[in-house]
A and B are shown apart, each in its own frame.
Chain A
Amino acid sequence: MTSGTVTAPARTWTAVCGYDDLVPESGAPALVGTDQVAVFRTHDGAVYALSNHDPFSTASVLSRGIVGSRDGVPTVASPMHKQVFDLRTGACLDDPEVRVTVYPVRVRAGRVEVGSA
């Protein structure tokens, strides 16, 4: 880990990168403890974090997916077989049975911080 961890009462926050390091409308992979997390920044400046693990291919690749929208919902499409996930809830919009873990995420002093799930 490159940056220190901040201990908050209920959860641990890990600063993973500068907000400016996130290219709008794309994702970046981060290591939070032993969890692989995909951090996304959308066109409106919002930040989201999902597990980087693609449940369909079992590879850790969601951060490399294309960010966009479906019916107004912010989404990422798995780069492997294109299943689309809701960035807010982690729900797979193509398969209601499937959901990926959502991580709390916030921007503090220009740094993006991911909370323990």
Chain B
Amino acid sequence: MTPHTNVPPARDLVVVGNGMVGQRLVEAVRERDPERRWRITVLGEESRAAYDRVALTSYLTGTTADELGLVPEGCYDEHCVLHLGDAAQDIDRVARTVTTASGRTVGYDALVLATGSVPFVPPVPGAGADGCFVYRTLDDLDKIRERAGRVGSGVVVGGGLLGLEAANALHSLGADTTVVEFAPRLMPAQVDQGGGEVLRRRIEGLGLTVRVATATERLEPLDDGGLRMVFADGDVLDTGMVVFSAGIRPRDGLARAAGLELGPRGGVAVDSGCRTSDPAVWAVGECAVVDGSGYGLVAPGYEMAEVVADRLLGGSATFGESDTSTKLKLLGVDVASFGDAHAATPDALEVVYADPVGGVYKKLVVTDDASQLLGGVLVGDASAYAALRTMVGEPLTDTPEQLLTAGPQVSGLDDAAQVCSCQNVTAGTIRAAIHDEACHDVAAVKGCTRAGTTCGSCVPLIKTLLAQSGAAASNALCEHFELSRAELFDVVRATGLRTFSEIIARHGSGRGCDICKPAVASILASLGTGHILDGEQATLQDTNDRFLANIQRNGTYSVVPRVPGGELTPEALITIGEVARDFGLYSKITGGQRIDLFGARVEQLPAIWRRLVDAGLESGHAYGKALRTVKSCVGSTWCRYGVQDSTSLAIMLETRYRGLRAPHKIKAGVSGCARECAEARSKDVGVIATENGWNLYVGGNGGFRPRHADLFASDLTTDRLVVLVDRLLMFYVRTADRLQRTAAWLEALGDEHGDGLAYLHRVLVDDDLTICADLDAAVQRHVGSYTDEWAAVLDDEEKLKRFVSFVNAPGTPDPSIRFVTERGQIRPTAADDDTAAPVTVAGPTLEVVRR
């Protein structure tokens, strides 16, 4: 990307503010300026480089600051410099210099202000007291989290978009939360009275308190460190903390001091080319007021950034009127508004559908002859949002009533229709990406076009476009089944079919393969259909399950006894050591806190397991798509920092879910305190002890694509924790795709339902699908019917018959298996081993003692 680094850039561009829009501006200039005509200096007041402020709240539920980061690798170098933690303090428009808080002075040929906005704190006495916060930066969130951890309650002043988001955050931090709104309804800027009412009820239903039409008069400190709010009507409310989220104000202080023209209600006034009253100075994002309008959303800001980048490089782009549609999920309630939501167009008609019981309110605004859609409001069910938004201004093909009840048809989506408003991407661009750049899934389209990468509300529409193009990877399991794994699961569960032959005869074709057979085997096992090697089931298993051991590169197997929570008695340890010694196996501590014995020939497996089972050990299912390990730390029993007994919990969980067959392996971890020595957040199910109980994290993964698990619920009792893990695992077992770990499953749920974690909450906590009782019962059946797979094989002559080297020479070892000795243990021979090395054929054969 740096073809001409030797040629000194001719001109200096200074950008004040490294927020979402300032960063986008830098990238847009870099993209258009491969010759490096501009040398760029960015001044950022925050200590962190640009991050995704739209997703700010996810920081409280486990997303890390790094994951929120927006700066692509290689963005900054010697010709494009970023100074963090150094605010611009003064602009000298004559000398064309900017001076910073640390005393740095930078000269500019062009200056772009991208200073964003600040939350508006109403001028009520006491609003600056200790315990008052705003909700804008990662630092704000750190402070809010810290306070919320100490106090049990909080008030959010402001019931608009951001206020409700902040309320959501306080609620998820476990605080008793009240929302105080001055207007007579929630989200006054976006929804009308009817929508506001439905929203209020939904939010109260979640356990928050809502006070509308309430003015705060003053705040008084309380002796216990809390705050008393006094309202205009004389009411008082005592609380642990207050978050102000009553709108935003553009940060125009620098511009004001420099004598630049401002908008009537503040903000840096710019023309449609985003230029201020000084032709060398530009403004973009929330600090700018374009032709009299300011914007509090990121999409218009991005557009401004593109306009300025274009102009800086000689273009003449202009900023058009921007879409102020919004959709968000507030406390699990969908809220969307788009276009002329308040029917401000002369003679506009409103068509309303309201279901107060179901908590759904939808309104469409149309022209007086109902020929054109102008805008709308959706509360409770915003599934049609993305599609409706693209229809604004277009002739209506359906009646408004049809649109409201049946939802829009998106088949005829015009190429010019804007699908992603955050990134301004049209249906045509997405279709081109699908066809010309072979983007065959949502992730690829995101990567190619940026569509869907900001608020995510357009993802369902992207999916529809993918499906219509026929390019979408079909979710058929394989050539033998048209069904996906989840569909097949439901079919098998509902029909009661219990053999592969019947299932493929009725619902598939051909004779199956190495994809559908293990998938069906796993489904049957999850449904509790007896031993996995019973009858025909044996032939469905992958070799690891077939021999209840993990195949190794030379055709031998490894043996892993279960060591719940990693806790091992000296006797068990000695048994494992003796078995390894007597059978000449290589032994190693695994990454899962247990011991693996390698190099066992297939015909040795029963004898090895006889010894292990007799000593009280059992299968560790290292071979199965099943629960693997629940890693633990020593916790409060030994550790001087531990706050709960993590080892006991890990053992309990591992014992509870052992043998549970799933679409992929399941790993869990339990840490005794926030130091997280068990690395629980890298597991499918992570549990971290708190002073008050347990925090539950879901969807972690190590492996190929590491992902930290997201916080699902906090401060749980052990009983509640178990209920949630039960449901989570069983729901995963039933609905995930073949070989889809929980991390990928959670992300797929997010693509489908907007926010995977919130969806899981609705299903597993609120029981929106009314399946919790069924999930609970299924786990109970699993727990009640568990038996050790290896013990069962040892008791069954039929099954034992398969553990032979040759059907016609059962005791003869496979002569091609050879080992050499390394560091005192065996290892398989490798191609470059010289033949002089000591070679053991198939390990020493020993008489095995049966006890």
Residues of A within 8 A of B (CB): 1-3, 14-17, 21, 23-26, 28-31, 34, 36, 39, 42-43, 53, 57, 59-61, 64-72, 74-75, 77, 79-80, 82, 84
Known: A29-B806, A66-B514. 6 other contacts (CB 8 A): A23-B539, A31-B809, A60-B816, A64-B602, A71-B479, A74-B511
Select one of B510, B512, B538, B807 contacting A28, CB under 8 A: B807
Can you pick out 14 interface pairs between chain A and chain B where the beta carbons lie within 8 Å of each other? A1-B808, A17-B807, A21-B807, A26-B539, A29-B805, A30-B806, A30-B807, A59-B816, A66-B513, A66-B517, A66-B540, A68-B480, A68-B510, A68-B511
Select one of A25, A28, A36 contacting B816, CB under 8 A: A36
A-binding segment of B9-17, B58-66, B322-330, B549-557 = B549-557
Shortest CB distance A52–B (Å): 9
Q: Count residues on chain B whose CB falls below 8 Å from chain A CBs.
A: 37
Most A C-beta atoms less than 10 A away, residue of B511, B546, B809, B816: B511
Identity of the chain A residue whose Cβ is nearest the Cβ of B538 in the assembled complex = A23
A8 to B442, CA, bound (A): 63
Is there contact, CB below 8 Å, between B809 and A2?
yes
Is there contact, CB below 8 Å, between B539 and A67?
yes
A67 to B536, CA, bound (A): 12
Closest 5 CB pairs of A and B: A79-B543, A59-B555, A77-B514, A68-B513, A69-B511
Select one of B501, B551, B808 contacting A17, CB under 8 A: B808
Identity of the chain B residue whose Cβ is nearest the Cβ of A79 in the assembled complex = B543
Shortest CB distance B482–A (Å): 16
Helix, strand, loop or mixed for chain B's interface? Answer: loop
Is there contact, CB below 8 Å, between A66 and B807?
no
Identity of the chain B residue whose Cβ is nearest the Cβ of A18 in the assembled complex = B807
Is there contact, CB below 8 Å, between B513 and A59?
no
A76 to B332, CA, bound (A): 48
Shortest CB distance B129–A (Å): 66
A64 to B547, CA, bound (A): 9
Given known contacts A17-B807, A66-B513, A66-B517, is B551 in contact with A31 (CB within 8 Å)? no
Identity of the chain B residue whose Cβ is nearest the Cβ of A43 in the assembled complex = B511
Identity of the chain B residue whose Cβ is nearest the Cβ of A114 in the assembled complex = B808
Is there contact, CB below 8 Å, between B814 and A43?
no
- List B contacts of A14 (CB < 8 A): 808
Given known contacts A43-B511, A80-B551, is B543 in contact with A31 (CB within 8 Å)? no
Is there contact, CB below 8 Å, between B551 and A61?
yes
Is there contact, CB below 8 Å, between A25 and B511?
yes
**Interface status of B240 (Cβ within 8 A of chain A):** no
Is there contact, CB below 8 Å, between B539 and A24?
yes
A96 to B773, CA, bound (A): 52
Q: Which of B787-806 contact A (CB under 8 A)?
A: 801-802, 804-806
Q: Which of B342-394 contact A (CB under 8 A)?
A: none
Given known contacts A25-B511, A42-B511, A71-B479, is B543 in contact with A65 (CB within 8 Å)? yes
A74 to B513, CA, bound (A): 10
Select one of A28, A61, A68 contacting B514, CB under 8 A: A68
